[in-house]
Structure 1
Amino acid sequence: MLLEDAFMEYEYHCLARNYTKKTMINKRQEYKQLKAFLVEKRGITELTSIHQADMKAYLRYKQNSGLKPQSIQSMAKQVKAFFNWCVNEEYLVKSPMDKVALPKVPKLVLTGLTTNEVVKMMNSFKGNDFLNTRNLAILCIMTDCGLRAMEVSGLKEVNVRETEILVFGKGSKERLVFISPALKKILIKYERVKRQYFKGRIKQSDHYFLAYQGKSMSTVAVYNLVKESSKRVGIDSKRVSPHMFRHYFAVQSVLSGIDIYSLSKLLGHSDINITERYLRSLDSSQLSVKAISSSPLMNLHNVY
Structure 2
Amino acid sequence: MKGFSLVHIGTEIRERKRGLHQIVSLMLDSTYYDALEERNEHHQRKNEDLFNSFTDEEMMYYYVHQRKHIRKDRERKETTKTEYLRILLQFYQYAVESESFLRQDLDYYIEETILKNLRPWHIRNFQEYLSTVLLGKGGKPYSPATLDAKMTILKSFMKWLYETKYIQHPLHKEILSTSLSEQEIPNRDLYYHEVKQLLDYYKDHPINYGLLTMLAMTGLRIQEIAKASWGDVYLDSLSGHYRLRGAGKGGKRFDKLLHPSLYERILAFRERRHVSTVLNPSDQGPLFPTKNGDYYQYKNLSNYIVRIIERTDLPFVKERIDRITPHYFRHFYAIYSRQQGADIFLIQKELGHSDRKTTERYLEKVLQREQEIGLMWKEQDF
Residue 83 of structure 2 aligns to a residue whose secondary structure is: helix
Q: Distance in 1 between matches of 2:302 and 2:132?
A: 36
Q: Say whether 1:42 aligns with 2:102.
A: yes
Q: Say whether 1:221 aligns with 2:294.
A: no
Check whether the contact 1:227–1:241 (CA below 8 A) recurs between aligned residues: no
* Cα drift, residue 277 of structure 1: 2.2
Report sequence identity in percent: 20
Q: Distance in 1 between matches of 2:163 and 2:248?
A: 26
* Cα drift, residue 260 of structure 1: 2.3
Q: Distance in 2 between matches of 1:36 and 1:193?
A: 45
Residue of 194, 209, 220 corresponding to 1:136? 209
Residue of 51, 56, 76 corresponding to 1:3? 56
Question: One-letter code of the match for 1:10?
Answer: Y
Q: Which residue of 1 aligns with 2:279?
A: none
Q: Which residue of 1 aligns with 2:123?
A: 55
Gaps in structure 1 of 5+ consecutive residues = 296-304
Q: Which residue of 2 aligns with 1:151?
A: 224
Q: Which residue of 1 aligns with 2:348?
A: 264
Q: Distance in 1 between matches of 2:356 and 2:167?
A: 31
Residue 66 of structure 2 aligns to a residue whose secondary structure is: helix
* Cα drift, residue 35 of structure 1: 1.8
Report Cα offsets for 1:15-38 as digits up to 9, x if no partner: 977534443333222222222333
Question: One-letter code of the match for 1:150?
Answer: Q
* Cα drift, residue 195 of structure 1: 6.0
Residue 60 of structure 1 aligns to a residue whose secondary structure is: helix
TM-score, reference length from structure 1: 0.75
Report Cα offsets for 1:188-212 as digits up to 9, x if no partner: 453376368236xxxx961211113
Gaps in structure 2 of 5+ consecutive residues = 1-53, 104-109, 134-140, 236-241, 277-282, 377-382
* Cα drift, residue 266 of structure 1: 1.7
Residue 244 of structure 2 aligns to a residue whose secondary structure is: strand
Residue of 81, 97, 110 corresponding to 2:187? 110
Residue 173 of structure 2 aligns to a residue whose secondary structure is: coil
Report Cα offsets for 1:35-64 as digits up to 9, x if no partner: 233342434725444444432332233234
Q: Which residue of 2 aligns with 1:300?
A: none
Q: Distance in 2 between matches of 1:95 and 1:226?
A: 41
Q: Which residue of 1 aligns with 2:35?
A: none
Check whether the contact 1:125–1:229 (CA below 8 A) recurs between aligned residues: no
TM-score, reference length from structure 2: 0.61
Check whether the contact 2:248–2:254 (CA below 8 A) recurs between aligned residues: no
CA RMSD of aligned residues (A): 3.5
Q: Answer with 1 or 2: which has the greater Rg.
A: 2
Q: Distance in 2 between matches of 1:283 and 1:233?
A: 30
Alignment length (residue pairs): 280
Greater relative CO (CA pairs within 8 A, separation 6+): 1
Q: Say whether 1:206 aligns with 2:288.
A: no
